[in-house]
Amino acid sequence: MILFEEPLKKAIIVNRRNRFVMDVLVDDLLAPCHCPVTGRIGDIIFENIPCLVSETYDSNRKTHFTVEAISVDGEQWIGINQGRVNDYVEAFLLENQLDAFSTPRGIKREIVIEGARIDFQIDGIFMEVKAPLSELLTIPLPHFKRRRLKRPIETERLIRHLHALISTLPQTGRAVLLYVFLYDAPIYTGNSNRKQDHLIRQLINDAIPSGLEIWQLNCTISPEGIRLLRCFDTTSHFK
């Protein structure tokens, strides 16, 4: 388990003010909190949503808290801090907990290839990490309001990173696309509603025979820390 420096606090999101700030009831006081996801988080309207927040003592920060996780059923926490996902992945690698790289010896982060910044190079093999949140793979209870689902806009970033990752295959013979969920998600095979989904699936499918692998990492988040549930190969689901 990866322990937080301090346990997270339970709180309630009153509303999402904008892309960067949520108004949260913390210790019975309403406080502006940093939202670490600038895009859409599922199709949730953020009104009275349970959450976990971390506290910062950096005087330069405009917000004193960061929303780390939310709950749509009052039981399961869904981690939303995408900015910390690579740190969690590295910690699991160092503890030999990722089956995709069972005993890594050399780990490098953020390697630039063809103008794209690939997240990891592990023993010479490149790995890109994605933590999807525009679609939550869980069903909210009926008393939660839900925004009418819109087709999520797929940025060019994923396509650019895929091209860069695939370009390493002639030299390495293996590359890994790792989807990370800070909750216990079912097998993820992409989002058919996203723009250019067909192109993304085709890129992946065409590269699998050359050594591209797709893996999924499921974790659980609690006030105390992050625990790895399972890391499994999902390549066959993309063929």
d(CA 59, CA 231): 38
Q: 68 and 112 share a domain?
A: no
With tokens 């740190």, the residue in question is 87
Domain limits at 59? 2-79
Q: 138 and 74 share a domain?
A: no
Q: 96 and 35 share a domain?
A: no
Q: 103 and 45 share a domain?
A: no
Q: Note whether 215 and 232 are within 8 A (CB).
A: yes
Q: 193 and 104 share a domain?
A: yes
- Name 58's Cβ contacts closer than 8 Å, sequence gap at least 6: none
For 217, half-sphere exposure in the C-beta direction (CA atoms, 13 angstrom radius) is: 28
Q: Note whether 165 and 118 are within 8 A (CB).
A: yes
Q: Note whether 35 and 21 are within 8 A (CB).
A: yes
- Find residue 218's DSSP bridge partners: 181, 230
Q: Note whether 197 and 181 are within 8 A (CB).
A: no
Q: 166 and 70 share a domain?
A: no
Q: How far is CA 118 from CA 72, 106, 110, 121, in A?
A: 32, 15, 5, 8
Q: 60 and 119 share a domain?
A: no
Asked which of 60, 79, 98 is the last residue of a domain, the reply is: 79
Asked which of 79, 101, 123 is the last residue of a domain, the reply is: 79
**pLDDT per position as a tens digit, 165-192:** 999 999 999 999 999 999 999 999 887 7
Domain count, the chain: 2
**pLDDT per position as a tens digit, 68-119:** 999 988 789 999 999 999 999 999 999 999 999 989 999 999 999 998 999 9
Instruction: Write the CATH number for 8.
Output: 2.40.50.580
Q: 117 and 133 share a domain?
A: yes
Q: 196 and 229 share a domain?
A: yes
The first and second tokens of residue 73, run together, are: 């059923």
